[in-house]
Structure 1
Amino acid sequence: MDSVYKTAPTTTQISIPVLNYHSVTVQPGNTAAITPAKLEEQMQYLADQGYKTLTLKEFIDIWEGGEKPTAKVVLLTFDDGYKDNYTAALPILAKHNFRATLFISPGMVEDGYFLNWEEIKEMHKGGWDIQPHGMTHPNLTKLNAEKQTFEITEARRQIEEELGITADVYCYPFGERNQTTLHILKEHGFRYAFTIEQGMAKPDQNPLLIRRLFVNGEAGLSSFKSLLK
């Protein structure tokens, strides 16, 4: 069982959809991959419906302030740091002046399949928040405390060094963690962490166990719309 962790005070019911994307490419049979055309359709829907895409700071301000946002809001998150996030997702979001959060594993940077630092820096300048997803995207529960600590803290160190930012928001590779993971995150000052548990993000959740909504790349627009309700 995950340990109890202090949650944000709230007097109003706040519920934020945090959408979980991965690769933006044509890959039939892979529900974690969405075609550029479908992503464009979804972003156009958000724009037409008047949604505001949050930066991490804006998300945290809502979370910690306990104030219900006056407009419809959504947090877009992309896991793993695929190169197509730069070639496909970045221009689609830029067209709508949308923001997103990218969780990367620095140990996989520069291998040709994932983003390189130059691309990551350009995405950051384009309004994307960049945060750690482990050094090599391991299942943390299969590692001892020392190796978990390295995976978590070295990923943060490299991102902070390369981008000159604070990288204290984590995303669990494969959604996996244990008590050791949570202890390491708290010990090293991580403020928030995102899971793959399904549901809206609400301030009464443990801030190290924030829920998200998986975007099935093979589902239609009606399925996407239902995630936002």
Structure 2
Amino acid sequence: MNRSGPGRVLLGLLALTLVCVPFYGAWRWNDFRGAVTAQEEPGPRGAAPAGGPPPERRSANTAPVVLAYHDIGRDSRSRFTVTPEALDAQLAALASAGYRTLDSEEFIAYLRGGPAPSPRSVFLTFDDGTHGLWVHADRVLAKHRMRAAAFLITRSVGSHRPYYLSWEEIGRMARSGRWDFENHTWDLHRRAAVDGSGRASSALASRLWLPRERRQETVREYRRRVEGDLDRSVADFVRHGLPRPRLFAYPFSESQERGSATPTNRSLREALAERFVASLTNSSDRPLPAGRRAAAAGEVQRVEVTAETSARELLAAVGRWTSVTPTECPDPLTQPRWWRRNDRSGTDGLGALTGTGPYPAATGYAAASYRPAGTADWSGYTVDARIGGLRESRNNIGLLVRDGSLAPLTVALSYSYVRLLEHRDGRWHEVGRRKLTNSVEHRVGVTVEDGRTVVVVDGGIRIERATRVTGGDGTGGVAVSVRNGDPAGSWPRFESLTVRPSAEAAAAPER
């Protein structure tokens, strides 16, 4: 039978389809495999590595600690690449110590004034969006039933494969319930020229050089460029079906605490504050753990994890960054491991401050801060100290309160005087002075409340100072220092130091 022309065309198309479909399917399969890398299962669950001293008991209001990772992988020379085995051991150690991980929603709720999620919690973050998060980290998280947030440079997604994640991998990670995705710019995680000599700096935090016009960007041009990048990045999230990001991580872990009064930094902080609940950094001029101080600064500082970080070291770092209350620290001098020397002596220990030595030299200065990260949100406390070894015009001690705040105060105590000094505009200013009865020993009590500081020496000499800053800008713990100017004489010493909630704080109802 003679087939018509249209029939022959239809049969030809059908034959062509039968021939092409397998090849098309194979091509699409190869394309899919390129977009979704095979995952690697972690090793079997083993005993958690020893974590050092047993964890301290924590109050119900303990703030979460934020951890910062970058890539997860093997055979890398980068100190920012942690092996899958190290990540496995670190998460096992955290789980064994009773820590749980937060999702972004829980962390943001806390930053906005909500209660602490639990006495022991960490927020795991991973910068840059590298493929190691899908290949290795995702399976390790699943093994330990933990969660994390990945901060994406959205222009890099799907590029330089397989270094960066693909949108297909990100979609699978989001659907697993183990991952949240937050912002790390669209294309500002890079250095660029900032002057005619070619000197490079952060493309996010700096005004760039315009070579055709032989000038630097104006502040208005800078802000327009940065806002355009951030908005484009946010649009990428929405376009790929992800929730709008509410957290931002600075490229290169920059911090706007430095030089914060410049118009450029002010513009950047405003642009970030308009789009995100908080910005995260690994570097700051003062500790900014999650809490009141960080909220006031608009930044949260993270504990960075590198290839050199062992599970034991990670637990120790989390301990240092975990918030404590004055009630939990009644006798700080009996806890030498929680003090950090900050006198550039390169030594540890409290002997130079408590009279047992060693001392930096026959004369000089020694100083230490007590748990500067763990006490960052302290207010409503009283510190009492007994001082000995004072000599006329030869030595003195310093008792600093509101350590790390924007307005720290130092009580400088000598043989015959007490002075109150306030730090502002980059230097110390005397704001109070009283004559004392000459003595080699004195007792001093300092009460810190949100709006004032009261100093009482030897039970009767009093100095009161209204606080210039309040709220999170004025919170902070305790630091001590001693000075000796007599080569033939002895150093002064702290014979005792105790901390307790102030009467006002003790009477306040618990939140």
TM-score (norm 1): 0.87
Runs (4+) of structure 1 exceeding 3 A deviation are: 68-71
Q: Render the CA deviation track for 1:29-84: whole Å, top value 9, x for unaligned.
A: 42211001000001111222221100011112223234234341000000000001
**Which is richer in helix?**
1
Structure 1 residue aligned with 2:126? 78
The partner residue of 2:303 within 213, 216, 221 is 213
Alignment partners' CA distance in 1, 2:300 and 2:129:
20
**Bigger strand share:** 2
Paired residues for 1:70-219 under 5 Å: 70-111=118-159, 112=161, 113-127=163-177, 128-136=179-187, 137-138=189-190, 139=202, 140-143=204-207, 144-176=222-254, 177=256, 178-187=265-274, 189-197=275-283, 199=287, 200-206=289-295, 208-219=298-309
SS of residue paired to 1:183? helix
Are 1:225 and 2:298 an aligned pair?
no
- How many angstroms does 1:28 deviate by? 5.1
Letter in 2 for 1:52: R
Identity between Structure 1 and Structure 2 (%): 29
Q: Indicate the larger mover: 45-54 or 196-205.
A: 196-205
Q: CA deviation at 1:203?
A: 3.0
Distance 1:69 1:106 in 2: 30
C-alpha contact (below 8 Å) 1:62/1:68 kept by paired residues: yes
Decide whether the 8 Å contact of 1:64 with 1:203 is kept in 2: no
Listed as ranges, the gaps of 5+ residues in structure 2 are: 1-59, 191-201, 208-221, 257-264, 320-511
Write the distance in 1 (CA, Å) between the matches of 2:104 and 2:92: 21
Which residue identity is paired with 1:153? D
Choose 1 or 2 for highest CA Rg: 2
- C-alpha separation between the residues in 1 aligned to 2:298 and 2:75? 32
Residue aligned with 1:197, SS: coil
Superposition RMSD in Å: 1.9
Q: How many angstroms does 1:134 deviate by?
A: 0.5
CA distance in 1, matches of 2:107, 2:164: 26
Q: What SS does the corresponding residue of 2:112 show, helix, strand or coil? A: helix
Distance (Å, rounded) in 1 between the aligned partners of 2:128 and 2:106:
22
8 Å contact from structure 1 (residues 32, 217) kept in 2? yes
Larger mean CA deviation between 18-27 and 219-228 belongs to 219-228
The answer to whether the aligner puts 1:68 opposite 2:116 as a matched pair is yes
* 1:120, distance to aligned residue in structure 2 (A): 0.7
Structure 1: gaps spanning 5 or more residues:
1-11
- Which residue of structure 2 aligns with residue 50 of structure 1? 98
Contact 2:253 2:281 in 1 (8 A): yes
Larger deviation: 62-71 or 177-186?
62-71
Asked if 1 retains the 8 angstrom alpha-carbon contact of 2:94 and 2:315, the reply is no
1:20 to 68, 75, 96: 68
Higher RCO (CA < 8 A, seq sep 6+): 1
CA–CA separation in structure 1 for the residues paired with 2:226 and 2:174: 26
CA-to-aligned-CA distance 1:123-181 (integer Å, 9 cap, x gap): 11122110110012232123422221122111111112212412122111112352221
Q: Aligned pairs, how many?
A: 217
Length-normalised TM-score, structure 2 = 0.40
Q: Distance in 1 between matches of 2:173 and 2:186?
A: 19
Alpha-carbon distance in structure 2 between the residues aligned to 1:119 and 1:30: 23
